[in-house]
């Protein structure tokens, strides 16, 4: 980005001729294209360099406070939530009776967080489905279905095919995307951009946080549009959300404990992750990170599912991360997770517990406690995943692996 910040969105089958003082675009039939959308790139060349970190992944993890602040920036005006890229008539948003979130990989884990938030705030039934599964079954999609497609790159073919299928069935599609001018937001009815800057490491980190923050914005926007929440409730939620970047920074500033843990565990061969509520997608994301960059067998489970099978995996010394919800939220949720820690520890697990500051109920059952600042149960998804990202990044680095370019993986999966 040393030379220009101006960009044009180019369509399929278009040819661009660039000369010193002009740009010309023609379509497949040789007809000049005059309406290519022009936009300004918000990031500079430094954003695409490692900036002193060992890897892009480490740098991107440490950019997350600013990234989430950028996703949230400028959305609340005169007490009302504004999503400028939201180009769907409010009456359509008021009429929808179902939401289906489609995405792959890390973006699908962000979508799983969206379900908890949207159903809680908006009372709209919300499904989350891997895009490739959605596309090749026969999903019930009507004109009253809102499909939310989440994609960092905006070019994931599985997600794009799901978007096309949904639109063919008459559904409205909103894309939550990081890459301006990419295909998925261009084919969607509306787009909400993450604004987290370029993500270069194959393993998604700051885009994941941006996706979750964007899901919260979408949920609150729907609640505002449909009248599910009062303006002061939305303002209070936004107020707490705006505290999150500082809290992310606190988690990042205390990363030394997790980094040491990762180095100490570099020869480990299996790690389990447990969580309930938004802790469940966090567990899934922690396991995905460890698989993809450290090549370690890892599984994320809903903690309540333990006794239905996975607990058989637990033997002496098995490391188990447990993501504990706030003790200030629903008591039953917190106490159930504390019981789950006890259950695995009684069978020999080494319990690595991520818990809110001041939550002493976990202390008798935790071999290691990793603290995160207190926030609402829903918003904790933006904090509790960070130690897991750091753990994977540091462990893969300690193993001498290429953290940014893991084997067999591509940053953007443009084939089905
Ligand atoms: O660009 P997208 O968000 O659509 O990519 C989806 C997945 O391919 C992506 O999140 C993948 O799972 C990452 N490598 C995870 O770190």
Please report the pLDDT score of residue 46 as a whole number.
67
The token duo for 290 is 């460890």
CA distance 272 to 261: 15
Enumerate domains of the chain plus CATH numbers: 6-41 (no CATH), 55-242 (3.40.50.10490), 248-398 (3.40.50.10490)
Best probe residue, ligand 1, of 57, 60, 105 (max atoms within 8 Å of C-beta):
105
pLDDT tens per residue, range 274-309? 999 999 999 999 999 999 999 999 999 999 998 999
Among protein residues, the one whose CA lies closest to atom 7 of ligand 1: 105
Task: Please give the backbone phi and psi of residue 236, each rounded to the nearest 5 degrees, phi first.
Answer: -65, -40
Closest ligand 1 atom, residue 203 Cα: 16
Among protein residues, the one whose CA lies closest to atom 8 of ligand 1: 105
> Ligand 1 centroid to 33 CA: how many Å?
32
Please report the pLDDT score of residue 321 as a whole number.
98
Closest ligand 1 atom, residue 208 Cα: 10
Please report the pLDDT score of residue 262 as a whole number.
98
> 107, 118, 114, 197: which is closest to 158 by C-alpha?
107
pLDDT tens per residue, range 303-346? 999 899 989 999 999 999 999 999 998 878 999 999 999 999 99
CA distance 349 to 178: 39
153 Cβ closer than 6 Å to some ligand 1 atom: yes
What average pLDDT is seen over the chain? 93
Measuring CA to CA, how many Å separate 46 from each of 42, 109, 281?
12, 29, 32
> Ligand 1 centroid to 210 CA: how many Å?
13
């Amino acid at each position: 980005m040393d030379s220009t910040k101006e960009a044009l969105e180019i369509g399929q089958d278009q040819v661009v001729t660039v000369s010193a003082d002009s740009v010309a675009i023609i379509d497949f039939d040789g007809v000049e294209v005059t309406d290519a959308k022009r936009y300004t790139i918000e990031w500079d060349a430094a954003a695409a360099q490692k900036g002193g970190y060992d890897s892009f992944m480490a740098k991107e993890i440490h950019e997350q406070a600013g990234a989430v602040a950028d996703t949230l920036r400028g959305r609340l005006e005169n007490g009302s939530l504004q999503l400028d890229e939201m180009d769907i008539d409010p009456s359509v948003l008021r009429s929808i009776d179902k939401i289906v979130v489609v995405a792959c990989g890390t973006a699908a884990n962000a979508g799983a967080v969206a379900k908890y938030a949207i159903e809680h705030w908006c009372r709209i039934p919300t499904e989350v489905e891997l895009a490739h599964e959605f596309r090749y079954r026969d999903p019930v999609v009507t004109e009253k279905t809102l499909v939310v497609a989440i994609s960092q790159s905006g070019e994931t073919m599985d997600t794009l095919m799901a978007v096309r299928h949904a639109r063919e069935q008459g559904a409205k599609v909103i894309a939550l995307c990081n890459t301006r001018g990419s295909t998925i937001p261009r084919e969607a009815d509306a787009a909400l951009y993450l604004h987290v800057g370029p993500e270069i490491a194959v393993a998604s980190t700051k885009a994941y946080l941006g996706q979750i923050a964007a899901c919260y914005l979408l949920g609150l926007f729907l609640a505002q549009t449909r009248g599910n929440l009062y303006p002061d409730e939305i303002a209070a939620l936004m107020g707490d959300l705006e505290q999150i970047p500082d809290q992310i920074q606190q988690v990042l500033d205390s990363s030394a404990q997790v980094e040491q843990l990762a180095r100490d565990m570099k020869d480990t061969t299996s790690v389990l992750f447990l969580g309930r509520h938004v802790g469940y997608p966090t567990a899934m994301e922690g396991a995905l990170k460890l698989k993809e960059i450290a090549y370690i067998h890892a599984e994320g489970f809903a903690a309540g599912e333990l006794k239905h099978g996975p607990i058989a995996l637990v033997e002496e010394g098995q490391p188990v991360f447990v993501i504990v919800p706030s003790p200030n939220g629903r008591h039953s949720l917190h106490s159930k997770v504390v019981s789950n820690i006890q259950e695995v520890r009684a069978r020999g697990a080494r319990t690595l517990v991520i818990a809110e500051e001041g939550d002493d109920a976990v202390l008798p059952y935790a071999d290691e406690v990793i603290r995160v600042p207190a926030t609402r149960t829903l918003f904790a998804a933006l904090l509790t995943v960070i130690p897991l990202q750091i753990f994977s990044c540091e462990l893969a680095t300690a193993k001498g692996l290429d953290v940014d370019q893991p084997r067999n993986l591509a940053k953007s999966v443009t084939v089905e």
